[in-house]
Amino acid sequence: MPAAVGYSGFNHNNWMNDMNWDAIGAFAELLAATGGIVAIVYLALQLRQNTHALDRSERAARAATSFQGAHTWAEINIQLARDADIAEAMTASVEAGSPTFTKQQTVQLHFLGRSTMERLDALHYLFRHEQLEEELWNVRVTWARRMLDRPYWRSWWQREREASNYSPSFILELEREPSDGGAI
């Protein structure tokens, strides 16, 4: 049998089976690599989407806080509008000179001033923790500096700050710059 002389034991079927498993293994590796890339792209897109959602949420929270800060200031004006006597006393307290007040007016002005400063201290806390817009904080602190520049309120503040009802950082911020002398 001359055909058997060059026979090396090559089996065509084994070669095809070996080839099929190699091809299947290579294809599986390609699928795994593709799946990994798809997973990374998906995670990157999710991360980006979540970052945008967090940014929007933070902006909404800051806007709500700024709105609340403006709203609490409006409540002070409503309180003054409801009581003509205290409104007159408040007006007199910011004018030049040394106004004379009844005991009741003095008590009302004291608690109105304290309420206003406590609200401002709370706004300062929000501003320091980046929850209040800088523009609103600057408007409020400028107003407070102007108010405390008036003789009645300057004297009131010297007594009030000694009571230590306010955060030290608020007092420092309030007194850091002098009043610009503008109207309140």
Q: So what's the pLDDT on residue 3?
A: 54
Q: Domain residues of the chain, as ranges?
A: 61-176
| pLDDT tier for residue 28 given thresholds of 50, 70 and 90 | confident
Q: Following CA atoms 124, 126, 130, 133 in sequence, which dihedral angle do they give, to the nearest 10 degrees?
A: -70
The winner for highest mean pLDDT among 34-48, 66-80, 136-150 is 136-150
Q: Are 94 and 147 in contact (CB under 8 A)?
A: yes
pLDDT tens for each residue of 55-105: 777 777 777 776 777 777 788 888 888 999 889 999 999 887 778 899 999
What is the per-residue pLDDT for 5? 55
**Beta carbons of 108 and 92 less than 8 angstroms apart:** no
Residue 148 banded pLDDT, cuts 50, 70, 90: very high
40 vs 54, residue with greater confidence:
40
The Cα 111–Cα 102 span in angstroms is 14
Give pLDDT, residue 132: 87
CB 113 within 8 A of CB 152: no
The sign of the dihedral angle between the CA atoms of 59, 65, 71, 73 is: negative
Higher pLDDT, 1 or 27: 27
